Structure formats: C-alpha cells, structure tokens
Amino acid sequence: MTEIQKNPDELTILSLDTCTESCSAALSVKGKVFSELAIVPREHSQRILPMVDSVLSQANVQLAEVDLIAYGRGPGSFTGIRICTSMTQGLALGQDIPVIGLSALQIMAQAVFDSQGADSQSAMQVITAIDARMGEIYWGQFVFDNGLAKLVGAETVIAPDLVTLELNTELPIVACGTGFETYPQLLELTGSITLAQEVTFPDAKSMLSLAKQGYTQGLATSVDDLAPVYVRDTVTWKKLPGRE
C-alpha cells in the first residue's frame, strides 16, 4: 500500500481496459473527462495504445503528468487481461506512475449507476455477468456506497444454474453484461430483475471514480505489484484439450 501524497480530487487519472470484447481508455484531469471506446474483438493490442495517446492529446496532457493509472485486472478474456496488464506496465514503468487494478465486474456495475443513478443509493443493486465460455459465467453482485459500486460476497466463475442471489430480492435489481445475453434465464432468478441494455462491457470511463476511491484507501501500488485476476483457476483452464 502507498501513502496518499496528493488530494484525490486533483489527481490526473488515466484508465484503460481490454478484458472483454471492449477496448477503452479514459482520462480525468481538472474535473474533465476524455474517453474512447470501441468493440473490437482480437484488435486490442493494436487499438489500446492509440486510444491512450488520443485521450492524452485531447486533454493536452503528457504521460509524465499522470498521477495514477487504473487498469482492468479481470476477470475476462485471458488474452485481454494480459494485454491490459502489459500495456499498463509499459506506460507506468518508465514514468514510475502508481497503478491500481479494478475488477471488470465492478466497472460494469459502476457504469449502471452512472447511467441510471438512484433516488436512494442504498436501494440500488446490480448483478453483473460476463460470458466465460465453457458453460460458465464470471459473476458479481454489488450495492452502492456513496455512489460507488461495492462488492457483496465474492467474484466467482460459476455455471449459470448454480448462481444464487445474496442481494435483497425485495428491492429492484439491475443486471448487466454478456452473461445475461447468453443465459437469459438468469433474469428469472427473482421477479425484481431488469436488464441494463446500455451496459454490456466494461468502460474505462467508469473506472475513474473507482480509481480515485482506491487511491484514497491506499490501494495504489507500484507497477512491480501489478496483479491480474483471472478468477478461473488452472484446474478449470485445463479442461480445454491440449491446455496445460
């Protein structure tokens, strides 16, 4: 953990994510946000650096002026997670910029709140699911604390028919992510679930407020401690023929 050295509201934060089919970058500087996003499966390695360069250029900011880099740490595509972490390493290492990893599931939950808001923050609940292939989903459940997504329980990779809700089923629940497109029966876990069709993938823009919170909590680290999170363990991965 690192000590807070700057007022969080004055931070220049760069965020990037390539953990799913989506590729995105965003920059927060002096209260303004610059962002880019594209759905480009298998093109992340070609697209992410130009996106980063673009948001920096739009803001007239040099990489050396960035105080914190937030990166999508997973879960999601193994290749996408590796691209995101390696790009973050390359950007942060030369300038000695602290980094903070954020969950792809939490980023999507935050996007739901940012797009829909809530009359009562305590009443808003979100379930997120990313299609993990092999008959499984990456699954997370969230409530909101001061407008920021807070995980309930643990993130997991699980078969859709084994999912259980830990949220209050007497209150409305919003669902988002590709898992609900692949397994629409998840929307029938309780009668109070509605689908946020505008949020399908993580967006780097939704990472900025979470990154600032993490910095305030001392969760930023040096790039040497960068830590991707695959969630799916090696035992599950070995189910694929030829994988070791």
Q: Give 125-170 pLDDT, tens digit per residue.
A: 999 999 999 999 999 999 998 889 999 999 999 999 999 999 999 9
Residue 243 falls inside a structural domain: no
Domain containing 137 equals 105-195
Residue 181 falls inside a structural domain: yes
Residue 2 falls inside a structural domain: no
H/E element, 82: helix 78-95
Residue 174 falls inside a structural domain: yes
pLDDT of residue 1: 40
**Domain tally for the chain?**
2
**CATH for 125:** 3.30.420.40
Same domain, 92 and 27: yes
Same domain, 63 and 81: yes
pLDDT, one tens digit per residue, over 205-242 is: 999 999 999 999 999 999 999 888 888 764 333 333 33
Same domain, 14 and 88: yes
Torsion sign across C-alpha atoms 17, 22, 23, 26: negative
Same domain, 99 and 109: no
CA dihedral 83→21→58→88, nearest 10 degrees, is -20
Residue 242 falls inside a structural domain: no
